[in-house]
Chain A
């Protein structure tokens, strides 16, 4: 049973790694770099929360 579990672990690892690589490729080809890297630190805090004492 443990040996079968070991093979299953390899299988799951390979499938999920390939899925992530596929999704990475899909996202990087469908979206521009400007959109993907558009996150800004503190943006929400500055925009939505009033900074008053």
Chain B
């Protein structure tokens, strides 16, 4: 066992220690806190690179290289609970991604939070969060993973509610923590069940781990009372945790609200790491998810994924979420909220990828998304910073003139997110998902949902781009009411280079990452599965790869064009002007009716559906899911009040009545009694003596 495997724990511990020191340090020294946090992240990043190099040197043997370090946490009798960490390709890529993006976001925060009075506290929380997240990544035990998972939830609560003076931030933090906790409860029960069944919570342990061959065979063989395999039931319970953390329908409601946190937090937690933890969890327990009664090959994901019940659920939830959230994003006006719904939608794609295509497909999108989405969030932060905390895209406009670097970086992120063909990583990762969905044996519907989602994504991102960066600035007109017109800082300004540099680096990564995931040179895929990495252009010709690529490219172009048509041609001049999509029924309808027959079809189908689906989803989001949550909480409250009533008036009153009748009885019997304890004692004592005498008498007789 090499040094790096033994000391993998250093990677999460370093940020935790940095956070701890930052918290304990008496003097609120900004430079000290920030350099401690960034230094620890950089060290973790370097260690992650070492880990990556180590794994890389072991790949190519056909199976995934995997080394574990386990130790017993506590034991009782002949059973014990072990913890440990695992270094395999999945761990390695996640480690590098989290530490790299994390480092950039830390640096960016230097600029973004520069004027915040709680600067040191921010870095302390951020470091703690990063440590917990890295703990999730390296965990080789479902228990350790769960523990870090909870810490991730806690620190994310602290970070979302960082500006807790803002009522909306405090409420959002609470909502986030509670909603994810709802998912965590089934997760915990899944952990408990898995332990109760297999006696271990280690993932890999030289053949005796819970998701290795022998344990899985046993789990698959057993069935619950409803006829479902135990492995499926446990997998679904664990998936509930992933649904909560990764904002999948129906537990996605917290993620858009979580945008109340500082923007670096949104970039770190709600784009790159925490929300991806759910996807990562599914990938980590993939053998459990894909365990089917037919013989399973431990550790190796077979080329053709067997569509087990658990994986079907994952795929469907993912596909539905992808479209659902994307259509909501179309109708939003807050720059971060659009990105939040977009994140939900992209997480849906990752789940879909896992469900239909295996670990590598989902995780590749996770990695590329982490880069371009944190780029977008940090770009949005730069925009907000430059526009003096303005978040409404209708009040922006024309920013490309003032913020050229942000604009350029944001455009790259936007094109990557849309999946603009060939040059952007998002294209390759999304294409891989769509291709897998196309080849799914169960149903073609997720594939079409994915296509629709891609269209919507291109559409809403175009809309956002035109609103924010094109046309004339509407910022000044908006702030007329609150500040004097001649205020010098009314005009937007470019952010300092400490904020723009990370953007540029991330933009470069958003482009370059695509190289390792093309069908011809699918290095990422091969690396995760331990295959030899080779270039093979013939793979482009394999079953349906090119048609799917073509279809998704067309959809993207169409979405971009549609966005340009509605928002780019005639930029809005005032923030109060209604949205082009909303105004569609009157203006656009008449213009288009005589010109293009095609337009009419689009009008009647896609656009109307688009608007309708957006508002319906919005309505669903506001009424049904929230309403459902409220209904449950209200009924719990109602039941609780009832319980309290019972407690006060029945259980307790029964006691009181019993006491008073006893007292009355005692008074009747002897007028001396006044209800003192010693008198009760006397009565009890007498009764006891009588009873004992009776017993003794009985035993003799």
State yes or no: do A and B come from one complex: no
Q: Contact residues of B with A, CB < 8 Å?
A: none
Q: Which residues of A contact B (CB under 8 A)?
A: none
